[in-house]
Amino acid sequence: MLLSRSPSGPKKYFPIPVAHLEEEIRVRSADDCKRFREEFNSLPSGHIQGTFEQANKEENREKNRYPNILPNDHSRVILSQVDGTPCSDYINASYIDGYKEKNKFIAAQGPKQETVNDFWRMIWEQKSATIVMLTNLKERKEEKCSQYWPDQGCWTYGNIRVCVEDCVVLVDYTVRKFCIQSQLPDGCKAPRLVSQLHFTSWPDFGVPFTPIGMLKFLKKVKALNPAHAGPIVVHCSAGVGRTGTFIVIDAMMDMMHSEQKVDVFEFVSRIRNQRPQMVQTDMQYTFIYQALLEYYLYGDTELDVSSLEKHLQTLHSTAAHFDKIGLEEEFRKLTNVRIMKENMRTGNLPANMKKARVIQIIPYDFNRVILSMKRGQEYTDYINASFIDGYRQKDYFIATQGPLAHTVEDFWRMVWEWKCHTVVMLTEVQEREQDKCYQYWPTEGSVTHGEITIEIKSDTLSEAISIRDFLVTFNQPLAHQEEQTRMVRQFHFHGWPEIGIPAEGKGMIDLIAAVQKQQQQTGNHPITVHCRDPDSLAHGGHQEGKDEQGCTGQRRGQVMETGQSQPTCGTGGLEASGGSQQDLPTLGLLSRLSRGCPGSAPVGSSSTARRRSS
């Protein structure tokens, strides 16, 4: 086993049994992650034991993106020489071991314009079938990687012809498939299929807010990589930070399965002897632990649609080692998701708490909807609303509370500024003689809120759904704004009883189908979804408002992307919970939704909250 070899010197950090992982992370996270920083700073740099003669040769210096990120001589990838040219065998890339597999990965820098040909030569010579890309081409206006593939058609890079076969864009990553073939007169001529998996949700600074997207991405990498292919080529910009993070998570997940423990410190120490500075920051080091804990606690919740019916039967039966049915156990996992109150500073300002229908429901700062600031008026950029991802598109939904009388202007400003053409309402204006939502539209004629006028054009009832069309006019357009009016359609779902949950899933499926058709006609601007207030939260009960909204964001995201074969029945709630404090359905609602799945449109993944650069 490759992991058993330890670097020289006394060992300060020992393997962690998975059963103790949560507690160990809690201890390390105290005092602003002080112990994580201490552990990270105890890692060997990797420079001491290596030599870098080839990387430092004059002919090779321009091939390095960063002068201080160089491959060790003993572990560098050596290319075949081109026409006997000295140093044409050099590329800034290193072999990296996996948990048990020697040279499972190649860690590389993001190709420079002058090294793209070498990059494809490496892919061909190493018989690699999978490329993992963990950077965007530009971040903060700085080039991080040259585009080394054609957008469409074919292009020849040196002696390697690359043709685009397919491209699938999802919310956290893009999968591109290339057919590559050598153009050399001798040697193997048979074309090969290469998959590039491009993770697009790594923020310009720091690490992803949640590891869920990365775990799904890593699962896809494992699924697409053929069993007998060459090393998986992993690159970011320098080929050490995000690249090292990805490789360590992969290896430790394998160790978790094999030994029921993880040894992050040992593994990072070892791979730093193969490529210095692997895992570059303490934030990345901490993120590795967070990803491993996420995987241990919640596991893999994706399943193929063909196995959905069997999975639902399992959820409704009692497992041998549990005193709860599977659905209750799955719901228990959702309720254990930690609410990160430290990331709700804006919503907890006194001026903004007055805008909350219920003060316990506050949006996170990282994905809150930001309005334009009114001149001379503080806090007017705030509304109690959160962006939520769909399956393919970021920020596909806006999840918000039912407007209050003093926030209705902000509601319409949000609809206008974020170009929403679709509003989904999941409550009545009054229920059980209690106000649940201010009526923000006119019954007839028009009404003006601030600078926005709303005129009702039609109001029709179709079974359990009222469909209202509004002509929305912005009364004070700026010079650069051509559009002054816009049609907005509201879908008002009446199928939610005042107490409990809908009796069947058909009404919700019909609602989703109607919204989907509207989106196809108006473009993929955010869908605004709102419900009533979670009034029972104050009495220690379940969160009624979030029952509705969390469910709809979840189901809407699932059914929206038709033709997908992998629904997510567990992480939907987990990911939606990143949107606001607890966008989670109740157990009864989860059960009802699960019964509504068979026979509905093919489902994808549910909504995902993402970090926003605000």
Instruction: Indicate which residues carry an active-site annotation.
Output: 236, 531
Going from the C-alpha of 174 to that of each of 164, 223, 234, 313, 603, the distances in angstroms are 13, 15, 15, 33, 19
Q: What is the spatial distance between Cα 56 and Cα 53, in angstroms, rounded to a whole number?
A: 5
What are the tokens at 69? 């990120």
Residues 6 or more apart in contact with residue 572 via CB below 8 angstroms:
554, 557, 558, 605, 606, 607
The values of phi and psi at residue 289, to 5°, are: -65, -40
- 76-78, strands of its sheet edge to edge: 76-78, 90-96, 105-108, 232-235, 130-133, 192-199, 173-182, 160-169, 154-157
Q: What is the spatial distance between Cα 374 and Cα 584, in angstroms, rounded to a whole number?
A: 33
* Buried b or exposed e, range 543-574, using 16+ CB within 10 angstroms: bbbbbbbbbbbbbbbbbbbeebebbbbbbbbb
Residues 6 or more apart in contact with residue 18 via CB below 8 angstroms:
256, 260, 261, 262, 296
Side-chain-side CA neighbours of 543 within 13 Å: the count stands at 22
Q: Nearest CA to 264 among 42, 30, 10, 69?
A: 42
Q: What is the spatial distance between Cα 474 and Cα 418, in angstroms, rounded to a whole number?
A: 13
Q: Nearest CA to 330 among 40, 12, 50, 590?
A: 590
